Amino acid sequence: MEDVLILAIETSCDDTSIALVRNGKEVLANKISSQIAIHNQTGGVIPEIASRQHCDNILYVLEEVLKTSGTKLHQIDAVAVTAGPGLVGSLLVGIEVAKTISLLMSKPLIGVHHIKGHIYANYIENDFDFPIVSLVVSGGHTEIVLQTNHYEFKRLYSTSDDAIGECYDKVARILNLEYPGGPIIDRLAKSGQFIEDIKYTYTKNESFTYSGLKSAVINYVNTAKMKDQEVNAADVAFTFQEYAIFQLLDKLVDAINLYNPNQVFLCGGVAANSRLRELVSKQNVAVFYPQMQYCTDNAVMVAAYAYFQYLKNDFSDLNLNANPNLKM
Amino acid sequence: MNLLIDCSKKFIYLGLFKDEVLIEKYIETDGKHSTYLISVINEFLLDNRVATKQLEGIYCGIGPGSFTGIRLAISVSKTMAYILQIPVYAVSSLALINCLKSNAIIIDDARSNKYYIRIKNQDSIILDDTIINKDELENYVQQYNYLVYSAIEEHKYSIEPSYLQEIAILTDVFKLTASYIKEL
């Protein structure tokens, strides 16, 4: 089979990322311009600011990718871009640049679903053995997806309110910790103890839910502050994380028992969570997760799934638009 | 041949010009500029039998106006200029409303009872794009006895290519950025 070289663009949230990937696996270049320092000041992503940053940064990122890999645009076989879900203003910057490249270079355009990208971050280092159950957990997503082949995705569970990563960010914010909240809470939790006074009861239902847990933690911290009591951040982190991760595991175990997958993938930024990895590794199933740099948003994963779309001639026309609620 | 792109208003504006000849197109998109921008650029060039290789410069309306629209025009303009290795020029989207060598007060709606304004005479720009309230606008209108051109009422641009080239700013393609004017 002939080689397929894909240039992929990912701007669904706050990172401007462009990558060049051969056959969905071989990474020729991968650049990310992160906005963490900017969004750290606000404790989260402000969509208009994120869009402005993408617009200012994207050409620098493209130039770096082409330069470091010694590639000319005419050498690519297709240009891929995240079409959704995500922040519409951010998605649009990547999409317009991708469409311009497609038009001027006469290359096929491939609109990629962001969640499929997260799952295919695993393809870089592993071959797929279906059926596969993927847990996609990040600042914007909390989902469990079942796949029986490369082209059929069934969403088993999603969140009815906040995404788990978003909840980590909000808890970090009330504890005056840095953005993003995930890594720092995970680290603090290692030395924390369970707080009985964080009143939260997990009720099992069809969806993930994180707003109740978030409120319980915020209430606990605010009440303590009001009473002038010291808040032990490590203990809060530990208690929050136990509840947050338990919910993931509960549904993941259900999915494993129901569908008996050959592989389980942990994907998205929260896949880096040490407690999640520890608990999932105890399950009697083959568990995989991407390298850290491919867990968080990146264009390599977009190129990885775009490769499979390319093989099926699943191309988009020049009227491709951002779809913040794109269905899988 | 030069291409002018502006998406700051409710229509997409495309212009092709060389010397004093200007071909224009206004495209209504029902709020879907992002969907159609690339397709309409493609059609516009095809209709006028201009190959992208024949383009010598890209002129981009950088605002003020719709934040999303401005970013569309900038993303496309700089990617085009980068690929074609041609110069890119930044143009005030407000200036396009009366892009002629004449006296004018140009205004546009900035919402929340505010206005974008630009004042110029035949020789120079007296007040560069800024945002003001209604009282300030009335003061300016009294102070300068110039005709007022308002994008709120007039939905067409008046462009003289020579004047456009005079006010356009040659910009490093990587540094082409929006003129949002309005603070967040």
Q: Which residue has the tokens 């640049």?
A: A97
pLDDT of res. B184:
78
Contact B184 A63 (CB under 8 A): no
pLDDT tens figures, A253-302: 999 999 999 999 999 999 999 999 999 999 999 999 999 999 999 999 99
What residues of B are in contact with residue A317 (Cβ under 8 Å)? 39
Which tokens go with A128? 């797929």
Q: Which residue has the tokens 């060389």?
A: B18
The low-confidence residues of chain A, meaning pLDDT below 70, are none
Contact A55 B71 (CB under 8 A): yes
How far apart (Å, rounded) are the C-alpha atoms in residues A289 and A282?
15
Which chain A residues in 27-86 lie under 8 Å from chain B, judged by CB atoms?
Answer: 46, 48-49, 51-52, 55-56, 58-60, 62-63, 73
3-state secondary structure of A67: helix
Q: Which of B7, B82, B183 to mutate to test the interface with A (most CBs of A within 10 A)?
A: B82
Q: What are the C-alpha distances in Å from A159 to residues A201, A211, A315?
A: 17, 10, 30
Q: Helices A211-226 and A233-259, interaxial angle, to 10°?
A: 170
Query: What is the predicted ipTM?
Result: 0.97
Q: How far is B34 from chain A (nearest CA, A)?
A: 6
What residues of A are in contact with residue B177 (Cβ under 8 Å)? 55-56
What residues contact A9, with CB distance under 8 A and at least 6 apart?
Answer: A17, A18, A58, A79, A80, A81, A82, A94, A97, A98, A299, A302
**Interface residue A272 vs chain B (CB under 8 A):** no
B159: nearest Cα among B29, B26, B10: B26
Residue A130 DSSP code: S
pLDDT of res. B154:
80
The low-confidence residues of chain B, meaning pLDDT below 50, are none
Q: Beta-carbon neighbour count of residue B130 at 10 Å? A: 15
Backbone angles phi, psi at A291, to 5 degrees: -55, 150
How far apart (Å, rounded) are the C-alpha atoms in residues A125 and A129?
13
DSSP letters for B68-111 = HHHHHHHHHHHHHHHHHT--EEEE-TTGGGGBSSS-EEEEEEEE
A90: nearest Cα among A10, A180, A33: A10
B23: nearest Cα among B56, B51, B49: B49
If you compute the radius of gyration of chain B from its CA atoms, what whole number of angstroms results? 16
The size of the A-B interface in CB pairs under 8 A is: 85
CA B92 from chain centre, in angstroms, equals: 5
